[in-house]
Structure 1
Amino acid sequence: MSVEQRRAMIVAAALPLIGEHGAAVTTSQIARAAGIGEATIFRAFKDKDELLDACVAEAVGVEHVLRELASVPLDEPLAARLTEAAEALCAHMERMGTVVRSLYATGHHRERGLPPQTRADGAPPEDARTRSFRAMQDAVVELIEPDREVLRLGPERVAAAFLGLLFSRLPSPAGPGHNPLTTEELVSVLLRGTLTDPGSA
């Protein structure tokens, strides 16, 4: 196993623990979860802080979700494609939010050693967020493209509307009463609107 593969394996084992314990997670806990000796962690990372920084970079990165979007079969019905896309994107946002909030709440505010695309609070700077959003939007456009001829709007506009509806499901300042659309409702509203009879309005 290469050093990069070992680092990736350790990060994958650490992420769920960070979501639970934040920066208080111990390297011995991570080693047990990864099925390795604790010393192996320090052969892959110079210290715990570097490992936590790598976990932040993995959580905010979009490579994983882009691979999931690219794996959605284009011969499925559009509603099914968008449902799979919504589930993948929501899982990505939840994973990112859990890791970043947990670390930040437990004192991992460091600037030193963070990847260039990541701020101390775990969020990427604005230009990196813009690039990440554009990459996700482009991936959704590709999923919609096969149905261009039956859509009233171009795939780019449909993708923008889809992501707008999807992000409305994020936690709201309204608090516990916030009742976001289900995935099925979101896709139905996007493709069919909210009127039972489109000609009635």
Structure 2
Amino acid sequence: MGTTITTAERGHVHRMRADASRNRERIVAAAREAFVEYGAEVTLDQIARRAGVGNATIYRHFADRSELIRQVTLEVMNRIVELAESALADTPDAFAALQRFVHGAANEKIGALCPMLSDGCELIAAELADKRVRLERALEDIMDRARRSGQLRPDVAAGDILIALPQLTRPLPGTSCLNLERFADRHLQLFLDGLRAPARSTLPGSAPTFEDLQRQS
């Protein structure tokens, strides 16, 4: 005879799964904050305390430190893709949509996370191929719309944005990123003003493509 699972038992299993999911989300969120605040030297103990869980809970969800870093990076990249798509869909003014994306993506602190990746900062990872396509499409659509409206200079491309964002959000050596954060919007706006038409200068070289941003084998 088969084992009959009672309603109470099913409810218990559901609560356990929900608790596990919430713990995983808390760990990823706490790890992201800790990596941004303290850099690659932050310990799993610090992350566990910030998340309000024990070290054993972290290891139940993530095989090792590298896996946790990878998951944090994937989560950030997912949000950046969703931000680009929502800026395109929900912001009628072309340049305002670009500004919304740039400021929102900068808030994800991708520049602070990049140095932690053991094999370098690859903004477009192979395991995010579908996200890469969505990000490329949404950001290029935002910029095409801004060009057609006469607000965006014609010699910049999406690759210029994706190179600038990590640079503008990377802590300076020997300084605290928390101290510099209050200046971020100021310098992002300076960058955005440089994208506006009419252009005040001629840019050297050509705009980077998404292929240029991928690691060469």
Superposition TM-score tier, normalisation by shorter sequence: 0.5 to 0.7
User: Could you say which structure has the larger radius of gyration?
Assistant: 2
Aligned length: 166
Q: How does 1:5-154 map to 2 (within 5 A)?
A: 5-59=22-76, 62-72=77-87, 74-92=90-108, 95-101=109-115, 103=116, 109=118, 120-121=119-120, 123=122, 134-143=133-142, 150-151=148-149
- 1:10–1:30 contact (8 Å) kept in structure 2: yes
Residue ranges of structure 2 left out of the alignment (5+ in a row): 1-17, 174-185, 201-217
Task: Give, in angstroms, the shift of residue 21 of structure 1.
Answer: 3.7
* Segments ≥4 residues shifted beyond 6 Å: 128-131, 145-148
Write the deviation string for residues 37-78 of structure 1: whole angstroms up to 9, x where unpaired.
33322322234443334334445xx21111122223545322
When structure 1 is superposed on structure 2, of 163-172 and 69-78 the one drifting more is 163-172
Q: Which residue identity is paired with 1:97?
A: G
Q: Distance in 2 between matches of 1:75 and 1:56?
A: 26
Task: Give, in angstroms, the shift of residue 96 of structure 1.
Answer: 2.7
Write the deviation string for residues 120-165 of structure 1: whole angstroms up to 9, x where unpaired.
33536776688755432311244456678x5469x9x96x825354
Q: Distance in 2 between matches of 1:124 and 1:75?
A: 25
* Percent of paired sites with the same residue: 22
Q: Which residue identity is paired with 1:66?
A: V
Return closer, same or farther for 1:146/1:127 CA change in 2, 3 Å cut-off: same
Return closer, same or farther for 1:3/1:78 CA change in 2, 3 Å cut-off: same
Q: Distance in 1 between matches of 2:112 and 2:143?
A: 29
SS in 1 for 2:120: coil
Write the deviation string for residues 142-195 of structure 1: whole angstroms up to 9, x where unpaired.
4456678x5469x9x96x8253543564549xx99xxxx944455455442136
Please, what TM-score do these two structures have when normalized by structure 1?
Answer: 0.58
Q: Distance in 2 between matches of 1:54 and 1:126?
A: 12
Return closer, same or farther for 1:147/1:19 CA change in 2, 3 Å cut-off: closer
Please, what TM-score do these two structures have when normalized by structure 2?
Answer: 0.55
Return closer, same or farther for 1:79/1:31 CA change in 2, 3 Å cut-off: same
When structure 1 is superposed on structure 2, of 23-32 and 181-190 the one drifting more is 181-190
Return closer, same or farther for 1:35/1:88 CA change in 2, 3 Å cut-off: same
SS in 2 for 1:161: coil
Q: Distance in 1 between matches of 2:38 and 2:139?
A: 34
Residue ranges of structure 1 left out of the alignment (5+ in a row): 110-119, 196-201
Task: Give, in angstroms, the shift of residue 83 of structure 1.
Answer: 0.9
Q: CA RMSD in A?
A: 4.1
SS in 2 for 1:192: coil
Return closer, same or farther for 1:183/1:138 CA change in 2, 3 Å cut-off: same
Task: Give, in angstroms, the shift of residue 32 of structure 1.
Answer: 1.6
Name the residue aligned to 1:161: 156
The alignment status of 1:192 with 2:197, answered yes or no, reads yes
